[in-house]
Amino acid sequence: MTSFRPAPSDLVRLKTPLGQLFPGTPTETMPKLKVIVQQSKPSKVTTVGDVVSRETLAAGIQVGLRIVDQMTLRKRISPVEIKAERTYRVKNPAGVITSEAWDTIREALKDREAVIFVDGEEDLLAIPAVLESPDNALVVYGQPSEGLVVVTVSPQTKSDVRKIMNRMTKE
């Protein structure tokens, strides 16, 4: 199975938000996200990560795709009860993006409502989520101990993310 590993020079870049950072706890960030969704009427909303997936569910925010690994800050958490029309399971080891995970994200984005359970780690999967999403979609993920990152998909964000992707090593 092919996987992509970020270039060492991009590891720091990947720790900085790919989109707009909304600092604060879920109690503070979810109402803001709700307003963004209402105002921008995104073509699709994808959440990457357990906390953001659980909190959007609790806040009643319509999400088309949730990507979870049932871990938070490397600790196993009690499974998030997520009901969706389609459920996928993929293996994606820490620190890489597998072609299986990438293909599954591409496929799941076609569904009205889907969840991908990742055996491994979902941290880098915001990258294929941005690249495979239609323009004006939102990709939302948590920035550990800081808040919520909202990426509005556009030709510009795709171009920025593709540059990171092009520097990755194929294994």
Q: Which residue from 126, 127, 134 is spatially nearest to 154, judged by alpha carbons?
A: 134
Judge contact between 77 and 50, C-beta under 8 A.
yes
Pair type for strands 3-5 and 97-98: antiparallel
* Segment among 68-72, 73-77, 131-135 with least mean pLDDT: 73-77
Calpha distance 169→165 (Å, rounded): 9
The pLDDT value recorded for residue 152 is 97
Above 60 in pLDDT, residue 73?
no
Residue 94, number of CB atoms within 10 A of its CB: 12
Q: Give the pTM.
A: 0.93
Quick one: average pLDDT of 57-77? 84
- Burial (CB < 10 A; 0-12, 13-18, 19+), residue 168, is middle
Calpha distance 81→94 (Å, rounded): 23
Q: Which domains does the chain have, with CATH numbers?
A: 3-10+18-170 (3.40.1380)
CA dihedral (27, 28, 33, 39) in degrees, to 10, reads: 120
More confident call, 13 vs 141: 141
Quick one: average pLDDT of 98-115? 97
Above 90 in pLDDT, residue 119?
yes
Quick one: average pLDDT of 111-129? 95
Region for residue 60 given its phi and psi (left: phi exceeds 0; alpha: psi -120 to 50; beta: otherwise): left
What's the whole-number average pLDDT of the chain?
Answer: 93
